[in-house]
Amino acid sequence: MLDHYQVQLTRMLEAEQYGEAKELLRFLLHCQGEDARHYEEWDSLLTWLDMAFPEDGIGEAGTGFTIAKQEKEEDEATFREQLLNPPDQDEAYVNQVVYIMQNHPMIDQQILALERAAYIQSADLDDSIKHWLLTEQVHPVVQFKALQCLRKRGAVGTLTLERLGETVELDLSETPLSMDDFPLQVNRIVERTEQVAEVDDPTLPHFARELWKESLQFLYGTTAYHWMLREDEDTVDYFAAALHLTLLLTVYGSANDDDIRDTYGITEGLRFRYEQACKALRQVALLQQIGEDGPES
């Protein structure tokens, strides 16, 4: 997980997302078991960011700051789209994007190629992406990003894929493009975890949401994902508890399972479902580690 968060930190600094970078550094400083020099580097960087960008102006500029931040985000989104959608899209460009998408050894580069592919004007590209997903062993996150790419391109119909050892049938038009696109029940789970986690550490809700977002990219369409969609409070409780346990293990390296179950009201009747949810999230954590070492394809 360390390499994953180091990459995230680098991206935040490159994008001048200093507030988010400071949150991540505080999170990393809470983690245990890392080399002492890492903590020194993180602490020094956090100190510098606090001095250079004190609270990023939050609370001082008020509404003006909020408007300025929104305008900056809109400008960044426009600039990003211009980079992903160059005016000159000749055959060489298309072939390069497709090759990187399907063959690059780094998952980040595959995902970037898929983001570019969403803007390519080619009648054959949808079929090319579908064929690749159906015939190659593709990392679950890259699979999910490919499904998002197909939806952005307006693809419709169903696709039957192998995901986490299961055969799943997915409706392309229903692929979530953001957290808001996921069913209400899925978002209620992370909201429940955020409410509980904030009591112990105000920085935890941010990382609970990031962990949940990453987990959904792996689990989308699987049996575990369909469990989340059950419209009852018990489902929210046991998945939120499993997410909280996984979060604490990630941040602190340990967690008290009994305390977690008591906090979320996990009775003996829900114990099996809770443990199954924990197993699913542990599987995601393992695959995340594999993904940081290199894609499966």
pLDDT tens digit string along 68-121? 445 555 555 555 555 666 666 778 888 999 999 999 988 888 998 999 999 998
> Residue 90 has what pLDDT?
74
pLDDT at 62: 41
DSSP type of residue 181? G
Distances (CA, A) of 101 to 97, 108, 121, 164: 6, 10, 16, 20
The pLDDT value given to residue 38: 79
In whole numbers, what is the pLDDT of the chain averaged over residues? 84
Give tens-digit pLDDT for 159-190. Answer: 999 999 999 999 999 999 999 999 999 999 99
b vs e for 11-42, b when ≥16 Cβ sit within 10 Å of the residue's Cβ?
A: ebeeeebbbbbbbbbbbbeebeeeeeeeeeeb
Determine which helix (DSSP H) or strand (DSSP E) holds 168, and give its type and residue range.
strand 166-171
Spatial distance between the Cα atoms of 103 and 128, rounded to a whole number of angstroms? 13
Per-residue pLDDT tens over the stretch 223-276: 999 999 998 999 999 999 999 999 998 888 889 999 999 999 999 999 999 999
pTM metric for this prediction: 0.74
Torsional sign, CA 134, 158, 94, 100: negative
Confidence of residue 48 (pLDDT cuts 50, 70, 90): confident
